[in-house]
Structure 1
Amino acid sequence: MARALTYAGDPANQLAGARTVLPNVPFTARADDGTGTVSATAAAPFPFLTRTIGLLPIVCPAGLDRPGSLDRATQGTGPYVLTHYTPGGPYEFTVRDDYSWGPAGATTAEPGLPARIVISVVPQTSTAANLLLTGGIDIAHVSGPDRARLTGRGLATADVATVVGLTFFNQRPGRALADRALRRALVSALDRRGLANVAVGGTGIPATDFGAEGAVCHADLADANLPAQDAVEALRAAGWTRSADGPLTKGGQSLRLRLITSPDLGPTLASVAELMAREWTALGVEVDLVTESLPALVNAMYQSADFDVVVGSTPGFALPVGFIPFFSGSTPAQGLNFAGVTNPEYDALVAQALRETDTTGCGTWNRAAAALFRSAEALPIAEGRSSVYGYRTTFATTFGGQLVPTSIRLHQ
């Protein structure tokens, strides 16, 4: 475990996923084989050390010696091992018979624990809902209006709090939305209640924070801190003018934005982006509305940077530190700050919060998030709910709806 933590924590190995669950400060891990314990020491203050270290999946020495072997095989300590791999799925996992070291003493010898798990990729939530109702699949994560069809059908259900439509604005040099005044004006023009209604497929509640309900330090921040101004006047003050029904221009250049999203991140996101584009078009903004596949969206965010606005959906992070690399630091490939956010007030407050112990620093973390709202660095659209459903199957989930493998039980 100590070696796996050290490997994952080394920036030279560029493990993007590990950055979201490990401390964002340098640390060392040491093992004591005599006592069977691992100790971790941070080189700088970090308030959530015990909440983060244990989130990293452990890779065994065989995987650390040959990282390429993990492309199509498992080299870990979990209750299941990968026994069949197909690019794009399905993926077959077989139970590890001798597993006995799970949380709270969980083992793989419990009655009803499946001997084999097959994970398939089902792009459409409507298809996943249909398969659940017919027994074609045992467990699926479903969001959006299709949840209504599954209510009262005798399915095991675990609700997951989410933030629907988490929107980022590209602030890299040369992009129009690097202008803080312009971002604030465009956010002011949005009907947040209307967008929330579209996002959840009914009566929506505008999101209150960047993370989902239940996250550590979650608070009601958006209403008090988002810009609320007359958008037309704010655009005029920022130097944008419009003749009759023509486009907004400044310095002879019209305002054109590339707005992208992907239905792979949620069934209502394309409609959210469409309404957003319509409201900005009414101001004179020329909006190129693009719906991408998830790989193309990720490419635009982390490689080409060819976007101005991206609308996504996420449960967020369980801890406020999870957002740090997305709102500060280097842009890809050196970092995760794909939107190029630069907010000195946020950075200063984060530095202070990192010196405060666990949840005693929530007030400071929330002031940092409020600074992001005031500068319109990003915009969460709606408080949402998705659900994990089981057909003749029960299970437990963690924050964000992740399944606990040893909790799965099949029923006749």
Structure 2
Amino acid sequence: MASNKINSLLARNTENAPKSIGPYSQTVAFSHYNNLSAQLPIDPKSGQLVKGGVKEQAEQCFENIRTIVESIGHVISDVVRITVFVKDIKDVDAVDEVYKTFFPTYVPTRTVVAVAALPMNALVQIEALISNGEGTIPKAPQSGDLIKLTNSTANAPINALSTQTVSFSHYNNISAQLPIDSKTGRLVAGGVKEQTGQCLKNIKAILESIDVPFDDIVKINIFLKNLSDIEAVNQVYTTFFPDSAIARSVAYVPARTVIAASALPMDALVQIEAVVSHGDGTPPQAVEDRHGIVIKANNNENAPKCSLSTQTVAFSHYNHLSAQLPLDSKTGKIVDGGVKEQANQCLKNIKAILESIDHVMDDVVKVNIFLKNIADIDIVDEVYTTFFPGGIPARRTVGVSALLKDALIQIDVVVSNAEGTPIKV
């Protein structure tokens, strides 16, 4: 928790990268990860978008990431995950050309999605998650020697531009899976149901290849071309979760976020991304730290409940929360009012979830905001600063064409967990 200074948040900014266009930090480190704010193609000297097209914009995004990473004593190959948001899916090839120059040999896990709008009317926005070998625990033994483990299997789709899974410390980060048949390299036949099944099968194959059970997933992000397909997706989803007798006995399902994509690679209807616990950690974790760390899932009455997701799932030093819609937990309905009231309700729900697990808003390391109308961000920031007056968390903001329940805003967060989750006795 925030009061525990032994393992505390470390928010940092550098003058050599663009100042945040809102109340947030460029990077927030906690334990063995640095969480970077999504980078827009802003020239740090002018504070404006760089001139040119998507190629120049992608280059500026990556340069900004590299500058931030180097300012905290890291290198670009410490990136574990890259998330690319484009305004037009046709621009991905141009972005990839630039991407290869920054990752010529090692490639991180990756997610690519087209969304309805980006801040400042940018064509591209890129986000990175960085390993943090030294961690934020002062003088922790062995932590500086932790290594990244990369893995790809022929039983899931291979992509030259991304690694299927990169594990570091106690988490595996999986590349977003498209509904590709690994044998043919093509989309599976059928509609959204078949495509959802294939995405989840691919994730399962990747996890089996590293000897990790499916129920070790702590967070799922579903990107949907048509949000109206969610019921069909859910029908398939419930055949995969819970996956084991143990998980069924406690009705365990991961935390979850559903995001409307304006388009996906290969014209897919769905793409699924997973964050996975990694009980054994990466070498050279001390033996007592490696085995039997438990997943702690929690729901409470003061925030909206959903049978398909857990409000918060903690593992090791992080809590992953399900995306919060502006729902009143008592009525289950969207709160009255406009985006201001809705933003307030989303953040109230997050606060209620955190308080139910003895955490506070100051423990949030990363905030993801999805807006029906990107122009609403100024109004949202008015509310946001009342919950985060210090502007500490890193942040991502994207505009989407639709949100579940016709909401105007949806927010999810990643939260520090200073006490960690206990060893199984």
Same-fold status (TM-score > 0.5)? no
More helix by share: 1
TM-score by length of 2: 0.29
**Structure having greater relative contact order (Cα 8 Å, sep ≥ 6):** 1
TM-score by length of 1: 0.30
Structure with the greater alpha carbon radius of gyration: 1
